[in-house]
Amino acid sequence: MTSIEDNQSITLSSSELDDIHGLLRNDTGHDLSHYKPATAIRRIQQRMKVHRFANVTEYLDYFRMTWHERQILYKELLIGVTQFFRDPEAFERLKEVVALRFVGEAPARAQSFRVWVPGCSTGEEAYSLAIVLLELMAENGINLDIKIFASDVNAAAIQQARDGLYDASLAESVSPERLLRFFSRQGEMFRIRRDVREMVIFAVQDVLCDVPFSKIDLLSCHNLLIYLNATSQQKLLSMFHYVLKAEGILFLGSSESAGEDGKMFQARDKRYKIFDRKQEPPAADASWSSLPRISVRLPSVRAGTSWMADVMRNSHKGELIGQIERQLLDGFTPPSAIVTRAGEVVYIHGSMGRYLETVSSKVELNLLAMAHSSLRTEILAGIQQVLVTNQRVVRGQVVYDYRGTEASVDLVFFPIARPDRLPGSWQDLIIVVFLERQPAPLFTVTEIGDAPSESSQGALSTIQEVTHELELTRAYLHHAVSQLETVNRDLPAINEDLQSNIEELQTTNEELEASMAELKAVNEQLEKHFMLLKSKTSAQARAQDDLKNLTMGLEIAALFLDNELQIKRLTPFAQEILMLDDDAIGRSIASFDLSHCLRMLADDIQRVIDTLVRSRRDIEIEFGRWFRVVITPYRISDHTIDGALLTLTDVTWQKQRGD
């Protein structure tokens, strides 16, 4: 077989591309027709080289027949090229812009910060933003409640992002300081630390169809728009404008833009593709909706001259055909059910009340649980037989009880012809038809010569009964073994989950024990400090009592003043001599109506504070009553001056004696 050469390009018609996108849409539920045609053609050309197909027609035939090939092309179309800090300078500039929002421009705004990363692939971009925001908070002393929503259409990529485990190549784009702070090494791999992981919520989402996240402060979308056609790009930008808050920030890849007209976004930094949301609403665009997506998949119908195509183009005729089909089914089709291999009901047609029973208030959607007890074993055996043979199976004359009367029904099982693209249990759908048998006549007329003997008839009946029971037992055993194998297959995964949960619980328990030990040590230290503080408080109170009793006993007139000459404390004797009011504390000594000689003391006090030289003077306060005034600087424990101490001692007797 000749194959396409490396330098040879291929050409696909629009109808061929539509067929490919339609098959992928039926398989995955996701519409990739929004991608640029050149992107799809390059991936198809690569697949043709792998299989060595000579032309597009051969590959398309293979593509239509092979579900596995469609899955591979689908995964390759979901371009997941990403890395940590893909443009380091752009991330540093983004950090500055976000910091301005909270530090400089809007210090009083709410501390909630919501981020959305559509097309996050395996999570590197989302984790990079989480790291940048953590660094921003630490560097600027900001406390933000950060929620990062990261979404992608690729479920496998989302699972890897949730695991947060990356190979050693990330060291090429992550600095050693960040590796040490935000990652933990596990062999040859690096795992994102838990505090960073808990900031990000990952979700499987088709950004062009599913409900978007709302009230977003920062929207980071790197290298998604460049793969979409112009119409889809405009849809996304319109949606981004809608979900961003009034002061929202849009952060795009280096090769992307926020629209040519600039109606929705204004460039904050053109070099690093950082944009501010404009307040003007975008033009009305009904191409995307905030309602959940509802997918209705119809089989592909090629254009032709068939009368059915004309009917389907006319909605009224289509409704008429549908009504006719329903009446035909209801009138001539016996009761039936479509079930999975486990008996789960997918669809029920007709009235099946006589074959079902209600055993509890719990709603069951499993035919084996809903059917009459006398029918369950037969239904189970028929399902298992169809799964083994993949052919039509009839289990006739099954007797069951209907309203106290014995009735008989034929159970017909046959598999549904299914395409290989159906996932999971939907690949084993079985139709179960209930054909009610008419009651047998009470008497049968036979020729005397043909009548079997009573003994042979009894033996034959016993053999048939034993054979039937053996067949039922074999089917039940096969079903039990099949269920056991399924359980055994699931057990390792369940065991891994349990082990992971146990390890997490053990780690949490160890952390709690360590925290308890730390709390106990801190509590002991607090108790020691409390006892020491209590002792010092008692000593201070004792010293206050001693000072008070000393001044009262010695009848010393003393004033304690601060640097502004305001009275901090005075003794009762000083209050009596100077005739001060009870509210003297806190007032300046110069504010009182004192005699001329006492007013002179204010200058002496200020001089002592300034020069730190002790002052001594005898003054006559009242006629014939003399006091010796001593002013000294008031020194505190750190040897600084905090005002002055003024004492007055009665020296009238000495003066009179000297005179």
The residues facing 406 across adjacent strands are 401
Map out the domains of the chain as residue ranges. 14-77, 88-277, 333-441, 458-551, 555-658
Sheet holding 615-622, edge to edge: 567-570, 557-561, 641-650, 625-635, 615-622
State the pLDDT at residue 458.
64
Q: What is the mean pLDDT of residues 114-128?
A: 91
Helix, strand or coil for residue 607? helix
At 657, which amino acid appears? R
State the pLDDT at residue 302.
36
**What are the structure tokens assigned to 415, written together?**
């598999």
Overall pTM > 0.75: no
48-52, 118-122, 207-211, 406-410: range with lowest mean pLDDT? 207-211
Question: What gap in Å lies between CA 634 and CA 13, rounded to an integer?
Answer: 100
Q: Which residue has the higher pLDDT, 110 or 158?
A: 158
Helix axis angle, 56-65 to 14-28, nearest 10°: 20
State the pLDDT at residue 436.
84
Total count of residues recorded for the chain: 659
Q: Which residue has the higher pLDDT, 304 or 334?
A: 334
Inter-residue contact 612 to 633 (CB < 8 Å): yes
State the pLDDT at residue 289.
45
The CATH label, of 3.30.450.20, 3.30.70.20, 3.40.50.2300, 1.10.3720.10, for the domain at 333-441 is 3.30.450.20
2-11, 92-101, 477-486, 518-527: range with lowest mean pLDDT? 2-11
Q: What is the DSSP letter of 166?
A: E
Going by C-alpha positions, the residue among 105, 216, 123, 118 that lies closest to residue 161 is 123
Look up the CATH number of domain 555-658: 3.30.450.20
Q: What is the mean pLDDT of residues 245-250?
A: 89
Q: Which of 26-40, 375-389, 440-454, 587-601 has the highest mean pLDDT?
A: 375-389
Look up the CATH number of domain 88-277: 3.40.50.150
State the pLDDT at residue 310.
42
pLDDT (tens digit, 9 = 90+) per residue, 409-465? 999 998 887 655 454 445 678 999 998 876 544 444 444 445 555 666 666 767 766
Confirm whether 333-441 and 555-658 share one CATH topology.
yes
Question: Which pairs from 536-544 meet CB under 8 Å and 24+ separation?
Answer: none
What is the 3-class SS of 350-385, one letter each residue?
A: CCCHHHECCCCCCCCCEHHHHECHHHHHHHHHHHHH
Query: pLDDT > 90: what percent of the chain?
Result: 10
187-191, 291-295, 321-325, 469-473: range with lowest mean pLDDT? 291-295
Asked whether the predicted pLDDT for residue 476 surpasses 70, the reply is no
Inter-residue contact 235 to 285 (CB < 8 Å): yes
CA 434, 438, 443, 446 dihedral sign is negative
Q: What is the mean pLDDT of residues 648-655?
A: 85
pLDDT (tens digit, 9 = 90+) per residue, 341-394? 888 888 888 788 888 875 554 556 788 888 888 888 889 989 988 888 888 888
Q: Cα separations (Å) of 3 from 62, 69, 493?
A: 14, 17, 43
Query: pLDDT > 70: what percent of the chain?
Result: 76
